Structure 1
Amino acid sequence: MDNAGYSKWGGGSQDLPGGHWGRWEHCKQRFFFLALVLLVATILWAFILSILLSKASEQTAVLGALKEEVGACNSCCLGTKAKLQTTLTELGETQAKVLQQESALKELQERVTQGLAEAGRDRENVRTELFRVLEGIKFQNGSCEPCPKSWLTFQGSCYFFSEPPSSWEASLRLCANLSAHLVIIGGLEEQGFLSLHTRGLGYWLGLRAVRHSGKVQSYKWIDGVPLSFSHWNTGEPNDSRKQEDCVMMLHSGLWNDAQCSSKMDGCICEKRRSC
């Protein structure tokens, strides 16, 4: 068998012209082709890599710019936040000052109102004392108007005991329609006079509770003067069910707090005599 044409590269026997020299030329051509392919592949990879690096560089630049913008925005936001916090603090301080001034103004208003009411009460007390001295003389010469029929007279005032039961508000309106007001009891003498004329009923007085945060803090007469003289029944006032804001006089003359909407009691109206 003739093995002269056997080729290691082809995996079989071939008859190549020129013998060994022909085989060498053939191998050179194959090496050249492989080198050319490798070179082309390398160039392509280098080109692709350069493109990728260029893109990566651009992305890095963009990310850097974005990072700078984010940093600037963050700095701006921090500054704005600090300003807002400062403004909020100043607003809170201003609000606290306004509330403090409002509270002081309200307290001053209450003091002025109370002072005016007390001044009015003092004027009435002075008038009462003067009336005691002059009442006899003026009564003799008819200079004082008598109290209306079925009204009682005591120390210059006229009193009307209304017996039909009604609420405190309705009694207030009733007295106003009679050019009078719900009775204001200034002391023990007036209390004793009223107690003598009760007829087994209860009578509304011109006294109401001052309530704050659901609790009774004090009592005031309808002319705004705080309660000084009182004649409470035993255990009163008890503000039963936290709803007893009005005051009435029992048939015994003692006082009791009751619901203003209650319609179980009459009322006592009072007005000054005109002289």
Structure 2
Amino acid sequence: MPGSDGGKGRGATPASRSGCGHWKSRVFFLALAVLAGTVLWALILSVFLSHASTEREELFRHLEELSANASKHGVALGTLKKDVGTCQSCCQTVQGQLQSALRELAATQTKLLQQESALKELTTSVTQDAAKANRDRENIRNELYRALQNVQLQNGSCEPCPESWRVFEGSCYFFSEKRASWQEAQQQCAQASAHLVVIGGMEEQSFLNRNIQRDHGYWLGLRAVRLLGRVVHYQWVDGAILGFSYWNFGEPNDSRRAEDCVMMLDSGMWNDAPCRNERDHWICEKRRSC
């Protein structure tokens, strides 16, 4: 019995040998797994480091390109600034020239306006002087003619006026009973070798006032002369420029720019009216033959 117990104590049992072998296998696989993980992580880190190195090189390359572009843009910007400075200088020069030209133009315009005003004044003065000279000449002519007529009348060498015509200072006057337009009235006078009356002064006007009928208006031989649509003066049918006048208050007004002919109101005062009016009578005048 003691011999048997001693033998069991010196040798290992099969179960203990099996457990020890299993533990060693587990340690071996664990070590193998750790080694495999380490290798795998080393590979992964190597890949990441390689990729990072590539990206770093790419970033450096882009940085170099950006630096080169920035240098080029800097040069271009400097050139642009220089061009802008040159343009500003040029623009300032041109602006100064334009301002100088504008000042010269304003001065020239002022001189032209002054010359235009002086020319208008001179034209008005010449026109007025010419009209006055024309009136004076016509008045002298009328006075001489009337003086001659008076001498001839006193000598009894002048023909009498036609029947129903009235005489005044060497002229015969016809006061119509009919009405007509200004043109028709002038034609009626022409058929009698006469013309619409031409009034030379207040004495003749007073004679007419005494002989007109107070409810009639009468055409006179006076018409407007227009320039660019405006009345510039009035002229008698014998070509004389208007000298003596006997306008009614506020006349002539050329209402609607259509009143070219002159008629005498029943008061004896003159009024401008449309030539086509057929409401008025007329007065013919002709010189007596001597």
Instruction: Mark yes or no: TM-score above 0.5.
Output: yes
1:264 CA drift (Å): 1.6
* Structure index of larger Rg: 2
The superposition leaves residues 17-59 of structure 1 with CA deviations (integer Å, 9 ceiling, x where unpaired) of xxxxxx8x99999988876665554333222101011112212
Matched, 1:230 2:246: yes
Higher strand share: 1
2:64 to 50, 58, 67: 50
Question: How is 1:206-221 mapped onto 2 (pairs within 5 angstroms)?
Answer: 206=221, 220=234
1:208 CA drift (Å): 6.3
Q: Which residue of 2 aligns with 1:130?
A: 144
Q: Which residue of 1 aligns with 2:212?
A: 198
Taking the aligned partners of 1:82 and 1:109, their CA distance within structure 2 comes to: 40
Taking the aligned partners of 1:58 and 1:52, their CA distance within structure 2 comes to: 10
Percentage of pairs with the same residue: 44
| Mapped contact 1:244–1:259 kept (Cα < 8 A) | yes
Q: Which amino acid aligns with 2:280?
A: D
Q: Which residue of 2 aligns with 1:249?
A: 264
| Mapped contact 1:184–1:205 kept (Cα < 8 A) | yes
Q: Which amino acid aligns with 2:212?
A: T
Listed as ranges, the gaps of 5+ residues in structure 2 are 1-25
The superposition leaves residues 184-213 of structure 1 with CA deviations (integer Å, 9 ceiling, x where unpaired) of 4343211111123324531123556899xx
Question: How is 1:1-275 mapped onto 2 (pairs within 5 angstroms)?
Answer: 1-2=26-27, 6=31, 12-14=33-35, 38-139=52-153, 140=155, 142=157, 152-157=166-171, 159=173, 161=175, 165-168=179-182, 182-199=196-213, 200-206=215-221, 220=234, 222=236, 223-225=240-242, 229-230=245-246, 232=248, 237=251, 239=253, 245=259, 246-270=261-285
| Mapped contact 2:150–2:169 kept (Cα < 8 A) | no
SS at match of 1:230: coil
| Mapped contact 1:207–1:221 kept (Cα < 8 A) | yes
| Mapped contact 2:150–2:170 kept (Cα < 8 A) | no
The superposition leaves residues 89-132 of structure 1 with CA deviations (integer Å, 9 ceiling, x where unpaired) of 43344344334433432332233233222222212322333344
Q: Which amino acid aligns with 1:42?
A: R
SS at match of 2:127: helix
Q: May I ask how many residue pairs the two structures share in their alignment?
A: 257
Taking the aligned partners of 1:35 and 1:183, their CA distance within structure 2 comes to: 127
**Farther-moved stretch of structure 1 (161-170 vs 131-140):** 161-170
Compute the TM-score of the two structures, normalised by the length of structure 1: 0.64
1:241 CA drift (Å): 6.1
Listed as ranges, the gaps of 5+ residues in structure 1 are 17-22
| Mapped contact 1:3–1:13 kept (Cα < 8 A) | no
Q: Which amino acid aligns with 1:109?
A: T
Q: CA RMSD in A?
A: 4.8
